[in-house]
Amino acid sequence: MITSAKDVQLALGISEDAAKLYLAALEESPAALTQLSRRTQISRTVIHRPLNELLDLGLLLKEPVGKRLHYHPIGPQDWPLIMDRRRQMAAKLSFSLLRQISIPGGDVQMKWRSGIAGIETALREFFAKSKGKFSANLRTPKRSITLGMPLATSPSKSE
């Protein structure tokens, strides 16, 4: 039995604030943003993130009433439909990504390297694996043109 925001969070795979917001909307439906903010004690400056999370998943619906928006939650009986829709979207996305990055007869490997050192390492690995196909084109140009002043100068060791 679902009794807390933590249970909703685990059941739906949403953030804790989104779970609190969903439960508050269930209790006060229809509710304006101010009411939901007070009920959940989530600041109005940050409530838009969990609110958008629920709207994107289809767990909340918004309805204009005059100049305000009122939010209605979908009932828990519709959760399986939401989960099925998410599963279908994930399957389509997975298939699409696999087609884009498939390598015949090989495994896909992804590495994350941060910063300038990461970029340099990635370039080094790329050129090493390309077996020199591109390195001839990227050697020092025969002539260079300098426009304006240099962007930065590095101090010499003698200074």
Tokens of 8: 């909703």
Q: How many residues does the chain have?
A: 159
Contact between residue 25 and residue 73 where contact means Cβ atoms under 8 Å apart:
yes
Selection from 10-14, 34-38, 121-125 with the highest mean pLDDT? 34-38
| CA pair distance 70, 27, nearest whole angstrom | 13
The helix (run of H) or strand (run of E) holding residue 60 is strand 60-65
pLDDT at 1: 46
Q: What is the dihedral of CA 144, 148, 151, 156, to 10 degrees?
A: 70
**Number of CB atoms found within 10 A of residue 152's CB:** 5
Task: Give the predicted TM-score (pTM) of the model.
Answer: 0.55
pLDDT digits (tens, 9 = 90+) for 37-90: 898 898 888 998 999 988 888 889 888 888 888 998 888 888 888 888 888 888
pLDDT score for 49: 92
The per-residue pLDDT for range 84-129, each reduced to its tens digit, is: 888 888 888 887 777 766 555 555 566 666 677 777 777 777 777 7
CATH fold of 5-74 reads Arc Repressor Mutant, subunit A (1.10.10)
Separation CA 23–CA 29 (nearest Å): 10
Cβ atoms of 58 and 82 within 8 Å: the answer is yes
Alpha-carbon distance 101 to 85, whole Å? 24
Give the CB-side neighbour count of residue 1, counting CA atoms within 13 A. 1
